[in-house]
Structure 1
Amino acid sequence: MVSPTITAIIFDLGGVLIDWNPRHLYRKLITDEQEMTTFLDTITTPDWNEEQDAGRSLADGTAALVARHPQHRELIEHFYGRWSEMLGGAIQGTVDILTELRASQRYHLYALTNWSAETFPVAQAQFEFLNWFEGIVVSGTERMRKPTAEFYHLLLTRYGVEVQEAVFIDDNLRNIQAAQAIGLHTVHFQSPEQLRTELEAFGVLPAVR
């Protein structure tokens, strides 16, 4: 099989380069693991969080959820009030790969992320490698998000990326399938080691034996 010509690598951020997880915070607030899981799965749900990722203000999102679940006001308000405590650090193996790609000077490096416009600057201030990308498209700023096709096309158009020459990396299968539907090559991220192997297969990284 002939490897495609790749000129651009597009990274998701949370879960790929940055260990963002509400559990890092809520383990401090809810001592029972099952109770914490139930709260995150049924109250501060991923779908609710994605509304803020899509441009709704943190204040409006919090108020709407408190109105539905007033008995959980304090725990809900901590979601964004103590949001920085959900950042567990960099996923170093992936940062190492990004470092190699940057040093090679062979590829255009971009990021496409579902992230609130209000919390993204917190991560930017903490992680120096976020300054290495030629462009980062943030859903909260654009008021659209993955997996909508228009969000992917926004990055491709803005930076003149040919869809057949780009690899998109994301840990969310839903987002991978949407990327495949518009013709992007993809890596469904599971670990830095697996990512390295798949980038080697694309000919993006040299195979090391």
Structure 2
Amino acid sequence: MPANIQHIVFDIGKVLIHYDPDLPFSRLIPDAGERKWFFENVCTHDWNIEQDRGRTWQEAEALLIAKFPDHEHNIRGFRKHWHEMVPHPYQHSVDHLERFVSEGRDVTLLTNFADDTFDQACEIFPFLTRPRGVTVSARVRLIKPDPAIYDAHTKAFGLDPKATFFIDDSLPNVQAARAYGWNAVHFIGPEKLDEDLRSFGLLG
């Protein structure tokens, strides 16, 4: 039986809120082939993750515009239309988060997120401000699955790793958390989450 859980840590993107860059870009670049090329060559995952590591959007845009000047409008569109990429919460997960907070449990957030878009997300989704606190990757200049970010979160919030339960949609992030010593589960949907919560004594 797992250790008695004292701390619950949620990831945000694709655990508590939906995220999909295709939502605005289906309008900005209607042709599916062109859009695929744009995401594979211009506003790539590797480019975007550097904002999660702390690079400013101004720096990020300037870098790409210098390389792809003909795509300036759509490069700037990534940040401009970011709010459209997060259209709704995953209400089932949010209900659990709010239940844990209401029960007086220790709830925190650990997320790969850019600095200013995290603030914007909190405006759109006020429930993100209910937990005790958050480690935002851009603010600590570390990103999951780097073991250092789990250590930073643990120390910042005084967690006991053996008594910490973590939910993330990325399997590498889950594996890194387990290697650090947390009890971590892979979020793939509400049914599996409920099953995992029951197995750790967090759902009746």
TM-score above 0.5, yes or no: yes
2:106 pairs with one of 105, 108, 116: 108
- Matching of residues 13-28 of structure 1 within 5 Å: 13-28=12-27
2:72 matched residue in structure 1: 73
1:38 offset after TM fit, Å?
3.1
- Residue 28 of structure 1 aligns to a residue in which SS? helix
Moved more, 165-174 or 26-35: 26-35
Moved more, 139-148 or 153-162: 139-148
Distance 1:24 1:99 in 2: 28
Distance 2:195 2:41 in 1: 36
Structure 1 length as normaliser, TM-score? 0.93
The 8 Å contact of residues 12 and 169 in structure 1, kept in 2 or not, is answered as yes
2:170 matched residue in structure 1: 172
1:70 offset after TM fit, Å?
2.1
Alignment of 1:9 onto 2:8 = yes
2:188 matched residue in structure 1: 190
- Residue 43 of structure 2 aligns to a residue in which SS? coil
Gaps in structure 2 of 5+ consecutive residues:
none
1:177 offset after TM fit, Å?
1.5
1:84 matched residue in structure 2: 83
Q: Kindly, what percent of the aligned residue pairs are identical?
A: 37
- Residue 90 of structure 1 aligns to a residue in which SS? coil
1:116 offset after TM fit, Å?
0.7
1:117 pairs with one of 112, 115, 118: 115
Runs of 4+ in structure 1 over 6 Å off:
none
Structure 2 length as normaliser, TM-score? 0.95
Moved more, 108-117 or 60-69: 60-69
Distance 1:140 1:43 in 2: 21
- Residue 77 of structure 2 aligns to a residue in which SS? helix
Distance 1:181 1:197 in 2: 22
Distance 1:57 1:177 in 2: 29
1:90 offset after TM fit, Å?
0.8
Partner deviation per Cα, 1:98-150 (whole Å, 9 max, x = no partner): 12222222x21000011111211111111121111101111111122111111
Distance 1:174 1:46 in 2: 16
